[in-house]
Structure 1
Amino acid sequence: MDDLLLQKYLRNETSEEELVEVLDWLDASTENQRYLDRLDYISNLNILAGEAQPRIRRHTVSLWKRTAQWSAAAAAVLLACAGLGHYMADRILERRTQDMMAITAPNGQSMSVTLSDGTTVWLNSGAKLEYPSIFSRKTRRVKISGEAMFEVEHDASRPFIVETFACDAEVLGTKFNILADARTADFSAALLEGRLKISNRLVGGESFILSPNDQIDLVDGHLKLNRITDPDDFRWVDGLMNLNTLSFGEVIRKFENYYGVRITIDNPEDMPELKYHGKIRVSDGVDHALKLLQITNNFSYTRDDETNTIHIKITKI
């Protein structure tokens, strides 16, 4: 494949026939895609070095601008030639569905994102969402690591599927919360509205269909169906951390997850045997959360900013 033609493709300057030629070449081999990526990288290095060469913007434009550019190109092709246009539009859309994006919520914060189909996703602190810039015509598939809440736009012809390390959640028009942490092997899903199918990726053939207020947990690699016991667990979308019925150790682990810090307890044998109640506003920060905990517990703590670690020393009474 001629490098000049590939550079025209990167700048969106190809003719209809040239575009088909490049797309066929890319589909023929993964090595061809890697070669194009290297050409893109080298071209941008040349620009930084001051060489007079048109800037290649394929990897630097925003999601919305890229989507708009491709949509406009597809529309122009459809108007120019019905037969070839439909073929090229399908090819372009197919490649866009394979263009995966990723977004991660900052530590100590939650955030929301609206996907191209209108689905809204709330991400809890540290959660990562992977999704295509455009969904395919058959399914809507995303990946999640961490805790997220989904409010899915109904589309009976295109199921919405959430992949995690342990289970797949197939949405049947719903609002639900999902927690998937491969590091600790924790998985749970709670259904607030609609219906939800959970399939175990670790054990073939194991699946459940959830009704509202159902919760499913992964226990020793198997799914266990329960009922939601405390709706306040899902108030994190409002910026609140629920501490109801948690032990001191569970509260500390929750602080670690929400604030992205490591917390060690110098004398864990002296941890108080208490169950806590109430909610903490996450945006007030980890120091505020620890000071609230000190109201009912006698401990001191120090911070090591270099290692992002908090050391707790419990004073036994």
Structure 2
Amino acid sequence: MKRFAAALLTSALSSLTWADNPAITDTFTADPAPLVVGDTVYVYVGHDQAEPDDFYTMHEWLVYSSTDMVNWKSHGSPFKPTDYEWSSGSAWASHTIEKNGKFYWYTTSSHKTIKGKAIGVAVSDSPTGPFKDARGSALVTNDMTTATDISWDDIDPAAYIDDDGQAWLFWGNQKAYYAKLKPNMIELDGPIHVIPDEQVKNFTEAPWIHKRGDLYYLTYAAGFPEKTAYSTATSIEGPWTYRGLLAEGAANSNTIHQGVIDFKGQSYFFYHTGMRQHPNTGGSYRRSMAIDYLHYNDDGSLQKVIQTTEGVKAVK
């Protein structure tokens, strides 16, 4: 009996020390976009609501937070596509960034009157909302981008504020787009640019910018089924040098959508998998957030991410 009790205690302590992958299991959570605010990580995800054989059915975004990377608190859905008057629905990938004490949430949704996907922006005084439409209209619509003929190339926004205070927005499918943002964070400042294909080989979607030292990293989903690749540059406007694969495809999922942060002295790679097994079976349209470690080589290149089922260790 004592041995059994000790085993139970060991198991309980272990569950508090290490996360499992998927890291969030109370519901399906796709396209994680982490944001560090002080001693807390917030993550913004889409809520997969499909039946197993449906397409990407997502009607709301969700927010979670953690101070230790293991225990995640749900903050519900502080903003939905229907909160935009111009949106006809669908809550595809999003990204939130902080500037001057306000939080700007760039989101993907379908447009009511302009065919295709569009990017909107909501704003809040808190990372957990409530958020409200910051513009009254979409920031990017499909008629503004002509590098492809598809109607879903304006997806997966990722914002970045450079060391000089200039904010940028990256997004795209099949083509990697970027543009400056005005200081108000809700308007483009100048033309939309396209990163040449050879600089982001096999680009599919999910661009994400981060910087370490003097080097910019552009990670993205490549090919289909997707893997994660990356390119580097010494300027956020490029030119970018393709550096290879960062992560293999996610288990039981055609897509993998990454986010990269540093938190309490460690680098992390967020993504999703189709491996949530209980109470419902996961899959390509029923995805769940996972987290593993990100490591750098001495020359600044990235080590390939090892995707694990045990996840990451709790930090204080």
Q: TM-score, normalised by structure 2?
A: 0.32
Q: TM-score, normalised by structure 1?
A: 0.31
The structure having more radius of gyration, on CA atoms, is 1
Looking at secondary structure, tell me which structure has more helix per residue. 1
Looking at secondary structure, tell me which structure has more strand per residue. 2
